[in-house]
Amino acid sequence: MKLRSLILATIVLAALVGVLYWSNHRKPTDEASKPSDSAPSILKLDEASITKVEIKRPDTETIVLSKSSSGAWEISAPKNYRADQANISSTLSSLSALNSQRVVDDKPSDLKQYGLNPAGVEVEITEKDNKSQKLLLGDTNPTGNSVYTQLAGDPRVYTVPTYNKTSIAKTLNDYRDKRFLPVSVDQVSRLNIIRKSQTIEFGRTKDEWQILQPKPMRADSTQVGNLVEKLTDARADLNTSDPKESASAFAAGTLVVSARMTDPSGSQELQIKKSKDTYYGKSTALEGVYKLNADVAQSLDKSVDDFRNKKLFDFGFSDPTKVEIHSGTKSYDLTRNQHDWWSNGKKMDVDTVAPVLSDLRDLAADKFVASGFTNPTIEFAVTSEDGKHTEKVLIAKSGDDYIAQRENDPTLYHVASPSIDDLLKTADNLKPAAAPTK
């Protein structure tokens, strides 16, 4: 009896193994037998040749996106707006190479069952030769991961992933440029911060910012650059701001500050008011009034000293070619020849020179003062840019700390004593390079 059961179990197991083997080897053959056009492409367009896109919905105004003569995209209907180039680019990318998942109906008898008569969204694409095609987007399928789609003139009904519809059929607010100050951050040449108490004007030459008003002063380019980035990144929330409520609050609010930015295309200005605990922004580039993040307003609420350059030297991370330090009876003269440093005809130990350069590079004031610079006893001089630029700093003792002044600059810098004392100690540690071993 046991032997019979064992034989029967063996036969069943062999049958199962055979079925599994057949199934695994049969599946690719079945897939290979599917028609090659079961998931054909719907649109194949040259994205660069598209000149206009019209998006129509039954319950909203038609959105018309038009390519300008400069190549930039604009919103020309329902009215003229600046356009978000990235969002339009996303739509064009989806349209130009739209592939289906599959054909669900070759010759549908009733398009209503797919939400295609009328369609939920109609997208008409026009190319340079005025040739146009119309894409129809219908209902979502029962599983929610696909959308029924049809191309006008083609009876077939396809499915495409729902993310295609999301990318293609955005709202008007999605396509609008929501920046308060739509200027190019890399091309901003002027920034004006205007308050009742003071106007600060910054000007940029290449990558260096300077303070022009209230008077010419060295600027902290990093601080000013960060402010420019924050302002150009500031965007209005068009979906949650109530236009009437925001306009009323702005009208009754207190003016905090205005910021005006200039690039080659012109100037744009942002006016910021505060009503109760909320900030509102109104821009020359954006129609309406919108709530504004508090950190944008607070980044502008600074004094001119907050943007001044507190470092005593501008040579930055480039290696200088000459360094001179004079303190009382002590003097140190260092000259660089390619990668080697020399002093009084002796090659110096680079490991003792590097800390001196680092301390000079980092030497900075903790505040600005109006007086206290008398009887300077210390002088630093740094030559950089292959001998083209020399910076000299004179330093006088003032109580427990120091007051520094750059050559040809009336600004007085208050410097904490450790910064100077440690630098002088580092200079005392300068040593000649060890003699080469034979």
Residue 266, both tokens: 């012109």
Say which residues have a Cβ less than 8 Å from residue 69's Cβ, sequence separation at least 6: none
- At 78, which amino acid appears? P
The predicted structure's pLDDT at residue 196: 87
Is the per-residue pLDDT at 29 higher than 50?
Answer: no
Asked whether the whole model's pTM tops 0.85, one would answer no
What average pLDDT does this structure show over 402-412?
97
Give Cβ neighbours of residue 115 (< 8 Å, ≥ 6 apart): 138, 139, 148
Mean pLDDT of the chain: 90
For the segment 191-219, the average pLDDT, to the nearest whole number, is 94
Distance CA 420, CA 395 (A): 9
pLDDT in tens, 83-136: 999 999 999 999 999 999 999 999 999 999 999 999 999 999 999 999 999 999
How far is Cα 109 from Cα 115, in angstroms, rounded to an integer? Answer: 13
Q: If DSSP codes are grouped into helix, strand and coil, which group holds residue 132?
A: strand
348-357: average pLDDT = 97
Listed in order, the ranges of the chain carrying CATH 2.60.40 are: 41-175
pLDDT at 399 over 50: yes
Task: Please report the pLDDT score of residue 324 as a whole number.
Answer: 98
Other CB atoms within 10 A of residue 68 CB: 11
Report the distance separating Cα 301 and Cα 296, nearest Å.
9
Look at phi and psi of residue 345 and say left if phi exceeds 0, alpha if psi is from -120 to 50, else beta.
left
pLDDT band at 355 (very low <50, low <70, confident <90, very high): very high
Q: Over 60: is that where the pLDDT of 8 sits?
A: no
Q: 239 pLDDT band (50/70/90 cuts)?
A: confident
Mean pLDDT over residues 52-76, rounded? 96
- The answer on pLDDT for 38 being more than 80 is no
| pLDDT at residue 203 tops 60 | yes
pLDDT band at residue 35, thresholds of 50, 70 and 90? very low
Interatomic CA distance for residues 130 and 417, integer angstroms: 74
Question: What pLDDT, in 10s, does the model give residues 162-198?
Answer: 999 999 999 999 999 999 999 989 999 999 999 988 9
CATH architecture of 41-175: Sandwich (2.60)
Flag whether pLDDT at 438 surpasses 70: no
Q: Looking at the predicted structure, is the pLDDT value of residue 368 above 60? A: yes
- 346 band by pLDDT with thresholds 50, 70 and 90: very high
Q: Is the pLDDT of residue 19 over 70?
A: no
Tokens of 31: 């897939």
Distance of alpha carbon 332 from alpha carbon 342, whole angstroms? 11
pLDDT value for 5: 54
| DSSP secondary structure code for residue 29 in this structure | H
What number is the average pLDDT over the span 60-65? Answer: 97
Count of beta carbons in the 10 Å neighbourhood of residue 156: 17
Q: Any bridge partners for residue 374, and if so which?
A: none
Helix 350-362 and helix 417-428: axis angle, to 10°?
Answer: 160
